[in-house]
């Protein structure tokens, strides 16, 4: 690991002032469950690491009359055990608890989950964000059973690793980021995740000198659930995740898939099927079929298509409690 300067300011403004305007020169440290690994694997070699551990304003869950605010430094364990979250957003509880490790849940943060780097083994072994060597993509004809089946028609074939991303998109959440001089902006969760076009870019809408400070979720009465398909219970990422939210004020429904694309994947036609529908087994099955439509599997991950159908169906039924 390369030596670096370490800072632990007490305010967001002080923290952003320490960040560089380009990626790589500085890194933000939240719980450290991803960044420390990236440092050890030489995936990043910053000159300075800025810790957020002393910034009290970034911690905790606050419920108001029409929304819930989650501080970016709230741990996954705190999120999963909070009464207001358990009452209104069971999808977030399922996603957080799915991490499976008490140690990671007690240290890993909500903001860190949203900003973690891809878990693609080509990237993690030094072949870059797009898994290439001098002859081109190693992913398309290589070991790609955990890679993307949607949004994979360009160089990015990794899947978004965020557990909380799909349910936050389904719930219509927004994410607040603060940059230099206290300038803040609100980013819809559906626009927060991005597919990078070059190795120099990141997978979110954050700028290099911005910090994710909080997440806001409207209390609109949405029924919601997450269903994850895993190889086994334990410390690993799912093969496929389905997050659904429907039945609230306004009637619009959302179905969002995880671990199948470089970003949380909005299954628009599946959401349209759910909107204002009476939920039963047949509707849930049609919703699963619609969510899987248009998939473009690689050479070894065609099994994910069936998993999408199953995950969406079970998430819909769980949300409706049919």
The whole-angstrom distance between residue 37's C-alpha and the CA centroid of its chain comes to 18
pTM of the model: 0.96
5-53+60-320 under CATH 3.30.465.10, yes or no: yes
What is the rounded CA–CA span in Å between residue 202 and residue 27?
12
Q: Compute the distance between CA of residue 95 and CA of residue 298 in angstroms, rounded to an integer.
A: 26
Look up residue 102 and give its two tokens: 């008490």
Q: What is the pLDDT of residue 233?
A: 64
- Residue recorded with tokens 């973690």: 116
Return the structure tokens found at 48.
């300075």
CA pair distance 166, 152, nearest whole angstrom: 18
Per-residue CA distances from 277 to 236, 282, 283, 320 (Å): 35, 11, 8, 11
CA–CA separation, 259 vs 149, rounded Å? 9
pLDDT of residue 250: 64
pLDDT per residue rounded down to tens, the chain (322 residues): 889 999 999 999 999 999 999 999 999 999 999 999 999 999 999 999 999 999 999 999 999 889 999 999 999 999 999 999 999 999 999 999 998 788 999 999 999 999 999 999 999 999 999 999 999 999 999 999 999 999 999 999 999 999 999 999 999 999 999 999 899 999 999 999 999 999 999 999 999 999 999 999 999 999 999 999 988 766 788 999 999 999 976 668 999 999 999 999 999 999 999 998 899 999 999 999 999 999 999 999 999 999 999 999 999 999 999 5
pLDDT the model gives residue 206: 98
Under 8 Å between Cβ of 177 and 187: yes
- With beta carbons less than 8 A apart as the criterion, state whether 78 and 35 touch: no
Q: How many helices (H) and strands (E) does the chain have?
A: 13, 14
Cα 167 to chain center, whole Å?
Answer: 9
């Amino acid at each position: 690991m390369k030596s670096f300067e370490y800072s632990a300011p007490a305010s967001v403004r002080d923290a952003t002032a320490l960040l560089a305007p380009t990626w790589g020169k500085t890194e933000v440290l939240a719980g450290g469950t991803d960044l420390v690994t990236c440092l050890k694997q030489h995936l990043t070699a910053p000159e300075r690491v800025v810790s957020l551990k002393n910034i009290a304003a970034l911690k905790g869950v606050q419920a108001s009359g029409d929304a819930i605010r989650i501080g970016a430094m709230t741990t996954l364990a705190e999120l999963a055990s909070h009464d207001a979250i358990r009452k209104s957003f069971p999808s977030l509880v399922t996603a957080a608890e799915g991490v499976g490790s008490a140690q990671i849940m007690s240290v890993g943060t909500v903001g860190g989950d949203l900003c973690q780097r891809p878990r693609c083994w080509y990237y993690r072994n030094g072949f870059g964000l797009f898994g290439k060597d001098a002859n081109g993509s190693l992913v398309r004809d290589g070991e790609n059973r955990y890679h993307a089946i949607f949004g994979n028609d360009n160089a990015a074939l990794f899947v978004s690793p965020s557990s909380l991303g799909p349910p936050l998109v389904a719930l219509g959440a927004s994410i607040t980021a603060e940059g230099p001089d206290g300038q803040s902006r609100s980013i819809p969760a559906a626009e927060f995740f991005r597919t990078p076009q070059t190795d120099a870019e990141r997978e979110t809408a954050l700028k290099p000198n911005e910090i994710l400070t909080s997440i806001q979720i409207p209390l609109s009465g949405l029924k919601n659930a997450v269903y994850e398909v895993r190889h086994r219970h334990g410390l690993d990422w799912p093969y496929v995740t389905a997050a659904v939210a429907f039945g609230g004020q306004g009637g619009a429904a959302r179905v969002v898939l995880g671990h199948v694309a470089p970003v949380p994947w909005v299954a628009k036609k599946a959401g349209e099927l759910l909107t204002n529908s009476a939920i039963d087994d047949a509707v849930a099955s049609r919703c699963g079929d619609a969510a899987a439509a248009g998939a473009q599997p690689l050479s070894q991950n065609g099994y994910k298509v069936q998993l999408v159908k199953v995950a969406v169906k079970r998430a819909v039924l769980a949300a409706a409690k049919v």
